[in-house]
Amino acid sequence: MRFTIIGCGNSGLIHAAKLYEKGYEVALLKTSNTNGRFFDIIKEENGFKVKDDTIQGNGHSFFVKPALITRDVKEAVRFADFIMVTTTTLQHEFVAELIAPHVRDGQTIILVPGYMGSLIFKKYIHKDVTYSEWETTAYNGRIVNSEYVRISFYNPRNAISVLPVAKTQEVLDVLSKCFDNTKYTRKHILESAFHNPNMIVHPIGILFSASRIEYSNGEFWMYREAFTPSVVNVIKAFDVQKNKVLQAFDCEPLDYFEAAKWRNEEDLSIDAMAVFRSFADSSNKGPSFINHRYLLEDVPMGLGLYISVAKLVGVDTSIQEGIASLASALLNKDLKSEARTIQYLLGKDEVTVEDVKRAISE
């Protein structure tokens, strides 16, 4: 099996490294100028260095030598059996339009994360293609000083969804061999989208820490500082509403902290808040500014999508709309006008619950 990774930032290179380590052929496709310096270094050196500092990796270092390192879209897409899109979700439309002329029947497109972006790709790609959406990454880490990629965290459990739903087991059979933690599924892409942790903690974390971020001059640690008991109350109130929406689409209720424990901790007997605090202690510094993807991406792509679906099923969206409105005010930017709504995804103004159920299953 061959994998093309679209997006050569932290997530893309980490997952490329783990695939290469497993013995799969990997191609890297660069579609933006972000991290351009490191990409140039990778091309010059025909690969990149990796240090795996997870408990499982135990500091193991290795060199990743992709089969293809390119900006040539046609070459990269035709190389692959599986296309893994690790750009921000803000880039989904651009990437979908870019690769559409070169996609062939039988390929699988993986969106990490998804936010129901499969429905955008389906607008542009008219081939027999299977999609998989992830709610978050299997591994976390950073590019360090344009020198090497450091893998710092491994999620013991990584759940995926598949579109069409009927191909779920087929895709899981492959991806579970590629990534040891990817042995679990969600019912559909909507469930994956609403279990994306970034939709909740990123906007809330920045919103309630905005003055601290601006005042601290780069010395802010969001997961350690932002989530005090009162802010945790906001997350829990958000969860009450979110779970009503999930239940409307035949999903079991699951609050944010329990979902985080399920992803982040081997021992599920440990208290969820203890797991969250442990994760916070190991997290990276930042963000150091307000105009950050934690708002620019997760408000319109995540909250915007959630609000449109929640309204469709008659669930109160006051908390989510309040967060979106205040985030817009912080940035002096109308994030709600940029929302990825269910109406946009389905291409019509009048959408029913049955329309959504059909779209996320077929």
Q: Which domains does the chain have, with CATH numbers?
A: 2-194 (3.40.50.720), 198-359 (1.10.1040.10)
- What does the pLDDT read at residue 33? 79
Judged against a pLDDT cut of 80, whether residue 254 lies above it is answered with yes
Q: What is the pLDDT of residues 198-248, one digit of tens each?
A: 999 999 999 999 999 999 999 999 999 999 999 999 999 999 999 999 999
Question: Quick one: CA dihedral 196, 353, 239, 216, positive or negative?
Answer: positive
Surface-to-core class of residue 292, CB atoms within 10 Å of its CB (0-12 exposed, 13-18 middle, 19+ buried) = middle
136 φ, ψ (degrees, to nearest 5) = -160, -175
Q: What is the pLDDT of residues 263-315, one digit of tens each?
A: 999 999 999 999 999 888 878 899 999 999 999 999 999 999 999 999 999 99
Judged against a pLDDT cut of 90, whether residue 153 lies above it is answered with no
Q: In the structure encoding, which two tokens stand for residue 61, read together?
A: 């270092």
Q: Measured between alpha carbons, how far apart are the two ends of the chain, in Å? A: 25
Judged against a pLDDT cut of 90, whether residue 61 lies above it is answered with yes
Judged against a pLDDT cut of 90, whether residue 120 lies above it is answered with yes
Contacts of 336 (CB under 8 A, 6+ apart): 299, 300, 304, 324, 325, 328
Judged against a pLDDT cut of 90, whether residue 137 lies above it is answered with yes
Judged against a pLDDT cut of 90, whether residue 54 lies above it is answered with no
**Cα 318 to Cα 154: distance, rounded to the nearest angstrom:** 35
Q: Which of 141, 140, 128, 96 is nearest to 114 (CA)?
A: 96
- What does the pLDDT read at residue 281? 87
β-bridge pairing 184-185 and 2-6? unpaired
Q: What is the pLDDT of residues 324-339, one digit of tens each?
A: 999 999 999 999 999 9
Helix axes 229-248, 318-331, angle to 10 degrees: 120
Contacts of 233 (CB under 8 A, 6+ apart): none
The helix (H) or strand (E) run that includes residue 185 is strand 184-185
- What does the pLDDT read at residue 178? 96
Q: What is the pLDDT of residues 11-53, one digit of tens each?
A: 999 999 999 999 999 999 999 877 688 999 999 999 999 999 9
Helix axes 198-207, 229-248, angle to 10 degrees: 150
Length of the chain: 362
| Percent of the chain at pLDDT exceeding 70 | 100
**Cα 290 to Cα 293: distance, rounded to the nearest angstrom:** 9
Q: What is the pLDDT of residues 73-95, one digit of tens each?
A: 999 999 999 999 999 999 999 99
Q: Which residues, in sequence order, are bridge partners of residue 150?
A: 51, 142
To 5 degrees, how large is the angle CA 24–CA 29–CA 34? 130
- What does the pLDDT read at residue 55? 82
Assign 58 a pLDDT band (cuts: 50, 70, 90).
confident
Assess contact for 174 and 148: CB atoms under 8 A: no
